[in-house]
Amino acid sequence: MKIGITGATGQLGRLAIASLKSGVPSADIVALVRSPEKAADLGIAARRADYRDRASLEAALQGIDVLALISSNDFNDRVGQHQAVIAAAKAANVKRIIYTSILKADASPLMIAGDHKATEELILASGLTYTILRNPWYTENWTASIPAAVGAGALIGCAGNARVSPATRLDLAEALAKVAAGAGHDNKIYELGTDTPFTLADLAAEVSARTGKVIPYNDLPKDVFIGILAGFGLPPGLPEVIADADAHAAGGWLLDESKTLSRLIGRPTTSLKDAVAAALAA
């Protein structure tokens, strides 16, 4: 069985490939990337697969049995790019497609959920056997700001006291690898999240405990939070996406308590303590 992974040189893709290589022969894993030369360090075959070049996709997917479609990070035409991959997969007789979606994609009000919902619908309409991994918010989306929070003396956001269940990229990559290499996942949709949900105040408390400094969580109005994020020089549109996710956390849209993720990977998910320690050590 040959497994192909799009976005193989991205953060999630690299981790998924590393996890796959622990249980699958390297010869059975293919990196599907726009620039194969950038995948040389992965230690597996790499094929050119450009979302905007249908011919390259169909050629790259020849002989692929299981295709892991890691969602594109191009927000301009993400659905169109995904549609091209799905169509090429069908033309190449791929046996199963795995898609990294977002938590509760079919109903989520998050700004970024629409593309995922549309992609899921395209997959279902394609007739391909599928596995959909509805990934939660990455833990790193919050822990990446810890050094800045320590420097500023406070963690900021607009999530109030909402409970959230993000997961680390490592945990989600391992789930992707397990699902790609394993059986019993045909036509399944998995909602994923960490085993132990927390609030952003809990995150700030853990940062405080780890650093020995008092780092409170300061909850801000959404528009104020967006303005501060924009001042950090983030790409246009990204502050709004981050604040939108925080703001919708109160409705439970960033929360999953099924523990499906830990069942898939066969171990407890990464704890908040370990995630904070890793961020501080980076």
Neighbours of 133 (CB within 10 A): 25
Instruction: Show me where the domains of the chain are located.
Output: 3-135, 136-166+194-256+266-282
Q: What is the rounded distance in angstroms from the CA atom of residue 259 to the CA atom of residue 15? A: 21
The strand pairing partners of 102, in sequence order, are 135
Render pLDDT for 73-101 as a digit per residue (tens, 0 to 9).
Answer: 887 899 999 999 999 999 999 999 999 99
Q: Report the CATH number of the 136-166+194-256+266-282 domain.
A: 3.90.25.10
Among residues 41, 54, 36, 49, the alpha carbon closest in space to that of 14 is found at 41
Render pLDDT for 183-207 as a digit per residue (tens, 0 to 9).
Answer: 999 999 999 999 999 999 999 999 9
Q: What is the rounded distance in angstroms from the CA atom of residue 23 to the CA atom of residue 249? A: 36
Pick the CATH number of 3-135 from 3.30.1300.10, 3.40.50.720, 3.30.70.600, 3.40.50.970: 3.40.50.720
Q: What is the rounded distance in angstroms from the CA atom of residue 102 to the CA atom of residue 132? A: 9
Render pLDDT for 200-243 as a digit per residue (tens, 0 to 9).
Answer: 999 999 999 999 999 999 999 999 999 999 998 888 899 999 99
Q: What is the pTM of this model?
A: 0.96
Render pLDDT for 52-68 as a digit per residue (tens, 0 to 9).
Answer: 898 999 999 999 999 99
Residues above pLDDT 90, as percent of the chain: 95
